[in-house]
Amino acid sequence: MTSDSERSEVWPTALRLAGTLVALGLLAYLLVQLGWREFLDALAQIPWTAFVLALTMVAVSRIAGVSRWYFLLRSAQVVVPWRRAFVLTFASLFASNFLPTTVGGDVIRIAGVGQVESRRRTAYVTSVFADRIVGLLGMAMALPFGVGLLIAYVQGAAAGSLLPLTGVALGGSWLSRIRARLRRVAQAVLESLSLWKQNPASIFWAFASTWVIMLGRFGSIWVLLHALDQSISLGTIAGLWSFTYFVTLVPISINGLGLQELSMTFIYVALGGVTTASILPTAILVRVMDTLVSVPGALMLPQSLTWSRRRTIGMDDEL
C-alpha cells in the first residue's frame, strides 16, 4: 500500500511530467501553425558566426555562474577550490536537463562536497540557496525595463474586459494571500543572506557575477534576433526575458521544458512586437544553446558523484 508521504512525492513529479507534455504539445502546435518551411528558413537566415557568438555568450554566462557561487562559498569560509566549484556547477547544469524540477541540479552541488563538519555543511547548503536568491534578485533588477511594455499591453487589453476580470480575481482575500506569501519570501531571503551580512564585498561580487550572467543571456538573444532582422533594444530584451524567467520558475514542467519556449514566444510577441517567425526559432535555439553548454557536465558528473563519497573537502584541496 502506498503511504501518504510516497503519494505526496509522486504527485508533484506527475504534475510536472503532465505539464511538460502539455507545453511541448502546444509548442508543436505553434510550429505547425508557423509552418516548418518558414521555421527552417528562419534558422537558415542566422549566420553560423552569429550562432557561435551567441553560444559563446551563453558559455561566459555559465562560467560567471561558477564565480558567483564560488564568491558566496569563500565568504562563508567554505574553502572549495575554483575547479571543484566549476565541476560541480557544470555537472549540476547537465543533471538539471533531466531532473524533474527547475532546481533539481542543486542536489548535485550539495552532494558533491561530501560529508563535512556541521557548521561548514550548513554554510555550504545555505550558499546554494543564497546563490539562487542572488540570481532571483538580480533578475528582478531587469523587470523595470519591461514594465512599461506590460502596462501598455494591459491598457490595450482593458478594452476586452481583461482588466476588470483580473481585478475581481485578485480582490479581497487573494490580495491578502499574495501579501502574506511575499512577506514569507522576503523573510526567507533575509534569513538566507544573513550569513553574508558581515562580508558585503562577497555580495557585491556575487551581484557583479549575476550581471555578467544576465548580460550573456540578453546578448545572446539580441544577436539571434538581430540576425533575423528584428530591431529590439538590449534593454527591452532584458525586461521581457525577466518576465519569461519568472514564469519558468512555476513548477509545472521539467526544467521549464516547453514552458520557457511558450512563455518567451508569447511575451516577446505580445509585449515586444517581435514576429512569431523570429522569436519561436530563437526560443528553441536558447534551449539548444543551454543544453550544448551543459554537455561538458556529463563528463564531470562521475567525478562530482565520486566526491560525494569523500569524507572531507580537504581530501581534494590539491584540485
% of the chain with per-residue pLDDT over 90: 36
Residue 196 CA to residue 203 CA, distance in Å, equals 7
Residue 170 DSSP symbol: T
Cα 244 from chain centroid? 9
Residue 76 CA to residue 69 CA, distance in Å, equals 11
Residue 313 CA to residue 81 CA, distance in Å, equals 9
Instruction: State yes or no: pLDDT of 8 exceeds 60.
Output: no
Q: Is residue 230 part of a domain?
A: yes
> Which helix (DSSP H) or strand (DSSP E) does residue 145 occupy?
helix 144-157
Residue 215 CA to residue 114 CA, distance in Å, equals 33
| Virtual torsion, Cα 99, 101, 105, 111, nearest 10 deg | -90
Nearest to 308 by CA among 66, 82, 87, 115: 115
What pLDDT is recorded for position 274?
94
Mind listing the pLDDT tens digit for each residue in 65-77? Answer: 999 999 888 887 7
Q: Which residues contact 2 (CB under 8 A, 6 or more apart)?
A: 10
Q: Is residue 183 part of a domain?
A: no
Residue 160 CA to residue 162 CA, distance in Å, equals 6
What pLDDT is recorded for position 196?
63
Q: Is residue 171 part of a domain?
A: no
> Which helix (DSSP H) or strand (DSSP E) does residue 300 occupy?
helix 296-307
Lowest mean pLDDT of 81-85, 140-144, 181-185, name the range. 181-185
Mind listing the pLDDT tens digit for each residue in 9-63? Answer: 455 667 677 777 777 787 787 778 777 888 888 889 999 999 999 999 999 999 9
Q: Is residue 186 part of a domain?
A: no
What pLDDT is recorded for position 313?
43
Q: Is residue 5 part of a domain?
A: no
pLDDT-based confidence at 181, cuts 50/70/90? low
pLDDT-based confidence at 178, cuts 50/70/90? low
Lowest mean pLDDT of 141-155, 163-177, 225-239, 251-265, name the range. 163-177
Which of 191 and 110 is assigned the larger pLDDT? 110
CB 46 within 8 A of CB 227: yes
Q: What is the mean pLDDT of residues 185-189?
A: 60
Residue 56 CA to residue 49 CA, distance in Å, equals 10
Cell numbers 558581515 correspond to what residue? 198
pLDDT-based confidence at 87, cuts 50/70/90? confident
Which of 202 and 248 is assigned the larger pLDDT? 248
Q: Helix 4-34 and helix 259-270: axis angle, to 10°?
A: 50
Q: How many domains does the chain have?
A: 1
pTM: 0.80
Domain membership of residue 304 as a residue range? 11-148+199-316
Which of 302 and 100 is assigned the larger pLDDT? 302
Q: Helices (DSSP H) in 249-275: which residue ranges?
A: 259-270
Set of cell numbers at residue 218: 540578453
Q: Is residue 175 part of a domain?
A: no
CB 288 within 8 A of CB 88: no
CB 93 within 8 A of CB 297: yes
pLDDT averaged over every residue in the chain: 78
Q: Is residue 205 part of a domain?
A: yes
Distance in angstroms between the alpha carbons of the first and the last residue of the chain: 48
Q: Is residue 128 part of a domain?
A: yes
